[in-house]
Amino acid sequence: LGAVRNICLATGDELSECSYERFKPLAVDTNTLNGSFNNVEPGDCIVAFSRRDIFEIKRAVERATQKPCCVVYGALPPETRAQQAKLFNEPGSGYDILIASDAIGMGLNLNIRRIVFHTLEKFNGELMNNIPTSLIKQIAGRAGRRGSLYPEGLVTTFHLSDLPHLQLCLAQPF
């Protein structure tokens, strides 16, 4: 922010700063899924970072829970994405589990109780890299949003071994 202020000062451009506070609490759920889709609960959104993983997870969750899942990812046609979001948000629809990509961090308003990171790594075309802290925080913040059915947002991981890294990322200042 300091660098942007200096640039605007040097160029004579006007800068408008806005700060926002979260309306509902967000907490780390130390009860991970322990590597089992049997531990998925209503209101959960499992986040994966490839379309292939999203559909593999969807099939595995539906087998384990006998509940249908909604799917949201960036390349999904907008009408389909909106329909899937509506199904997930609709109480009593039977679709109360969401499998999604990082696209959920881009402005969709969803009734997510708990974000579950399937992994904290993403393939960049050549290598697996850690998900940037800012993206982890943005995605985690989708749980328990203002206007949501849930009084608090929770965030956890699929594997217990990823939990310390998640906690470290969420503790970083913005």
- Is the CB of residue 89 less than 8 Å from the CB of residue 125? no
pLDDT tens, position by position, 19-74: 766 666 788 999 999 999 999 999 999 999 999 999 999 999 999 999 999 999 98
User: Residue 4 above 90 pLDDT?
Assistant: yes
145-149 long-range contacts, CB within 8 A, separation 24+: 145/24, 145/109, 145/110, 145/112, 146/23, 146/24, 147/109, 148/24, 148/110, 148/111, 148/112, 148/113, 149/43, 149/91, 149/111, 149/113
Residue percentage of the chain with pLDDT more than 70:
95
